[in-house]
Structure 1
Amino acid sequence: MIKATVTGRIWSTKKLREMPAGSILEVQVEGTSSTMLAFDPLSCGIGEKVIVATGSVAASWFPGKAPPVDALIVGLIDETLNPNA
């Protein structure tokens, strides 16, 4: 899984019929300058820290035949605890 921050929302007027209801968000992977697009079933907002599952783990979350999604937001990070701090 990947920790990331939501940096934007993608608006699409046309998409595949197989895509479920939800948003596509742009996220920046923590500690890098890399960004990716992730499907968002949780209604996350810009600036929120999220947990992203990728690959077959993301695709298998959907019931039935998986849509073409390879990055899925699976949680919001409220706080990160560091026992060594």
Structure 2
Amino acid sequence: MIKGRVNGKIWSSRHVDTLPGGALLEVEIDGGGRLIAFDPLGCDAGEAVLVTQGSVAAAFFKGRTAPIDALIIGSIDEKTK
């Protein structure tokens, strides 16, 4: 799993029909780098998240083939001081 923070949404006016309902988010990876991840949870900008990639991400959508390579699987609760 990859830990990161949501930078914001990626807007797409056209996409393949097999893409499930949800959002595409840009995630800043802890340690450097960025990726685009599919978000079925409704995460917001600035939120810390856990991301999985590859076949695990695509297999999440049972009964349909989804062109997903990175999937947000959790929102990390952070303590405030």
TM norm structure 2: 0.92
Alignment pair present for 1:40 and 2:39: yes
The match for 1:15 is: 15
Q: Which consecutive unaligned segments of at least 5 residues does structure 2 have?
A: none
Number of residue pairs matched by the alignment: 79
Aligned to 1:78: 77
Indicate the RMSD between aligned Cα atoms, in angstroms: 1.2
Give the 4+ runs in structure 1 shifted more than 4 A: none
Could you tell me which amino acid in structure 2 is paired with residue 14 of structure 1? R
Q: Distance in 2 between matches of 1:57 and 1:67?
A: 11
Could you tell me which residue of structure 2 aligns to residue 49 of structure 1? Answer: 48
Structure label with greater radius of gyration: 1
Q: Which amino acid aligns with 2:8?
A: G
SS of corresponding position for 1:31: coil
Q: CA deviation at 1:73?
A: 0.2
Unaligned runs of 5+ in 1: 81-85
